[in-house]
Amino acid sequence: MAQTEGWLSRVARRFGEIMSGASDTEATNTASTGQRTGAPMPQAGEGPANQYSSLPEGVKLGANGRYVSGGFSFSTLQQAAEHATRQAGPLATIPVGAAAPPRASASFVSRPSKAPSRWLGEKTQVAVAGRTVTISMVYYGTPSNYDAKHDKSRIDPSLAIDPRGDPAGATLTYWQSYDRLDPRARWTYLDWLEGGRADPKIPIGYVFVFFYGLEQRLLVDDGREDASAIFAEIRRLLSIYGEQYSFQGYASRLLALATIYETPDCDPPTAASTQSYDIELPLDVRVRLGQRLRDDLPFDADDALCWVLALPDVYLRTPGERCFDELLEIWRIRFSVRNPGGLRVRRPKSKIRYEYRAASGAFNTTITVDVPDISGTSAPLAGLRAILDGCMEDLAAYSRLLGREPESRGRLRGDLLLPLELRRGRTSLEACKNSLHAFVSEEPPTALELARALDLDVEPHTSKLSAILVRQMGLALDALDLGFEPDRRYGPSAALRSDARVALFPASLGGAVDPERPAYSAARGMVEVAMLAAVSDGTVASTEMEAIELRLRTMPDLQEHEIVRLLACGKALAADPPKVRAALKKLADVAPERRAALAASAVEAVLADGRVLPDEVRFLEALHAALGLPASALYSALHRSGEDAGPVEVLPATAGRTIPLPNEPAPSGVSINTARLERIRGETTQVSALLAAIFVEDEPEPAIAPAPKVSEVATAFAGLDTPHSGLLLRLISGPMTRDEFDAAAAGLRLMPDGAIETLNEWGFDNLGEPIVEDDDDVRISPDVIDQLEPMGVAA
């Protein structure tokens, strides 16, 4: 837009230049004279006598305001003075008690012209149409012949001025020159000059008149020695009048030449660098880059930024303008990342040629500089543009915030939005990070607390945080190198309630994961289910979390940052368990092959605290039903919990150099765990000893005392009463049928079954085993008959 205007205005000016044709100096002259006489001003009327009290010898001020010398009337004091000098004979020094005459003026002075035009480099007091002014950096004089090239700006003291002035610029036309100014305008112009050329409200036409002089001095009269002063002046003017597009364009083009005259600066570019409305690269940039090429140096970040900003179609968009410092900072970082050794560009053959078209339209100059010209090179620019666009894109959020709240620059909420490279080391961020790290280790904060800690505006009394706020939170935490869960960017979750717990964990850049990756989403499902299981008894024991972690770590194809996120996810779920029913519903579309693993993880989580409560079982049953798995598998799994807990993790596994496993001998199907085997062997020995003590067997019972000492005849079998002894004796003599036995027992007033029981009890106690066999017939067991017979004989 701005550039279009600049371009249009240029065309308009050129057009105007062509159409206006020759000058009409005379007409203006006469007109101004008339005006002046017609409207005498009090100052002019009384002034001359006082004002010019020190007129040169032989010059008088005429009544009409003209200078009179030797009968001639001069329009300027100088003319008069020179005439007087000539009349007087020997040369006199230049009048007007000014400081030392500028060096540049020597040539003009020496020129034997009756109308010397000279450059007033230093502040000089001169008379202009009867007014004494102290001015500098202007041409001054009345040359004998008009030369557009030289006279656009020259202050011709012979031309009339009108003290009414024209501060509004009403009389100004577009193409100006001093001689064509209205006398009133000349007055204002002189005012402006005397006022230090600083009045920002002055119409730009006046400035242009002054500017014509500068460019003439520099380029037409080749005033190299004044160059630095001129450029300084132009810069100063730009700072005041830079808003005027047309002036800015011309001034910058002239200023661009500074690089030729001055030692080129390698200053970092400024926001102004891009404000070039020319269709070619500004000269300063070309020279700067050309010198690099000439010296065979790579472009550094500032060079490159100058280059890309100087391109006619590159603008700083609002982010770049509003945060140029940040832009510069980030550009430097990113540029040096992309081009660690600087940007090397092939040296083009062509040299810089620069055509300067004067603002005054009075001359064109072609300047050739002996350095390579970069403007034909475009290959590296695409990359540079991309970096720049990226920088501005990344600053967009920051810039928008600054637009809304300029005071947030330097505060946490502002710094949080800075691109990554700039965030590091900002103090507000460090402070916030430290405060948040407390949350990482302790109880998860609520979403509300977190948002407040992040200096975000939370609408009071909202139960759910808005999506925008959550997004800001995400960005802010990313900036703080913290991840959080539940994070909708990395997996589905319900809208964040303000009292929901948010689990934080340290993670570089927020620990982004790909939630769609099968391994991750599977693991996430597992964590959800396991957490549901773990919370199903109302609390989450630390062992339950550990079990989940252990399982995650054993899952293949899961990276560390994913595990960390999943654990946080589990933590958040623990603090804020979801509705079981809803969660189980989602399981319906879990792939069949993953179902068993899901269920197993849930069981593991439940078992981790070493107890199985009905609520937990209830959940697991529901889970199995939802997954379409048989419940019996669940009970088996719960039951097996007492088995070996598996290897205990001593040190967390660290990814080191991987060594391919040697080819294991093909598993033979039977793998024997030796440690376990030893344990079982040990237990077996113990139990065997225990049982052996119970099933006492190897006791040939010394209790069988050699019978003879027994005196009671009937009870030869120690411990048996008479009837049972008798029955036993009958049995020893030979087997009996059941009926015979019953009869024998009845004869002894015994009950048959009770008798057998008693005899066998006695046998157990004394011989270690039963003695009566009661099959088809009742007999003494052949194993013990040998032992019983001697006793029987004794009886």
Q: Using CB under 8 A as the criterion, which residues of the chain lie in contact with other proteins when the complex forms?
A: 543, 609-615, 617-618, 621, 631-632, 634-636, 638-640, 642-643, 645, 668-673, 676-677, 679-681, 683-688, 690-692, 694-695, 697-698, 721, 746, 749-758, 760-761, 763-764, 770, 783
Q: Which residue has the tokens 């990395």?
A: 490
Q: Tell the smallest beta-carbon distance from residue 609 to other proteins (Å).
A: 7
Do 441 and 458 meet the contact criterion of CB atoms below 8 Å apart? no
Nearer to other proteins, 194 or 761 (CB): 761
Helix (H) or strand (E) holding 33: helix 25-38
Q: Tell the smallest beta-carbon distance from residue 773 to other proteins (Å).
A: 11
User: Strand, helix or coil at 332?
Assistant: helix
Q: Which residue has the tokens 């595990």?
A: 563
Q: Tell the smallest beta-carbon distance from residue 445 to other proteins (Å).
A: 30
DSSP class of residue 656 equals -
Give the distance from CA 595 to its chain's centroid: 39
φ and ψ of 353, to 5 deg: -120, 135
Nearer to other proteins, 371 or 756 (CB): 756
Nearer to other proteins, 386 or 746 (CB): 746
Q: Tell the smallest beta-carbon distance from residue 509 to other proteins (Å).
A: 38
Q: Tell the smallest beta-carbon distance from residue 496 to other proteins (Å).
A: 33
Q: Tell the smallest beta-carbon distance from residue 725 to other proteins (Å).
A: 13
Nearer to other proteins, 369 or 755 (CB): 755
Nearer to other proteins, 381 or 550 (CB): 550
Structure tokens at 617: 């079982």
Provide DSSP, 664-710. Answer: PPPP-S----HHHHHHHHHHHHHHHHHHHHHS------TTS--GGG-
Please return the burial class of 704, using the count of CB atoms within 10 Å of its CB with bins 0-12, 13-18 and 19+. middle
Separation of alpha carbons 189 and 173, rounded Å: 14
Nearer to other proteins, 318 or 543 (CB): 543
Nearer to other proteins, 519 or 584 (CB): 584
CA nearest 409: which of 395, 389, 393? 395
Nearer to other proteins, 92 or 680 (CB): 680
Which residues, 6 or more positions from 555, have their beta carbon under 8 angstroms from its beta carbon?
519, 523, 526
Separation of alpha carbons 691 and 369, rounded Å: 111
Nearer to other proteins, 370 or 775 (CB): 775
Angle at 603 between CA 602 and CA 605, to 5 degrees: 65
Q: Tell the smallest beta-carbon distance from residue 605 to other proteins (Å).
A: 14
Do 289 and 306 meet the contact criterion of CB atoms below 8 Å apart? yes
Nearer to other proteins, 261 or 635 (CB): 635
CA nearest 533: which of 597, 610, 595, 619? 619
Q: Tell the smallest beta-carbon distance from residue 737 to other proteins (Å).
A: 16
The 3-state DSSP composition of the chain as helix, strand, coil percent (nearest 5) reads: 55, 10, 35
Q: Tell the smallest beta-carbon distance from residue 339 to other proteins (Å).
A: 58
Q: Tell the smallest beta-carbon distance from residue 301 to other proteins (Å).
A: 60
Separation of alpha carbons 749 and 752, rounded Å: 9
Nearer to other proteins, 467 or 746 (CB): 746
Angle at 747 between CA 743 and CA 752, to 5 degrees: 55
Q: Tell the smallest beta-carbon distance from residue 632 to other proteins (Å).
A: 6
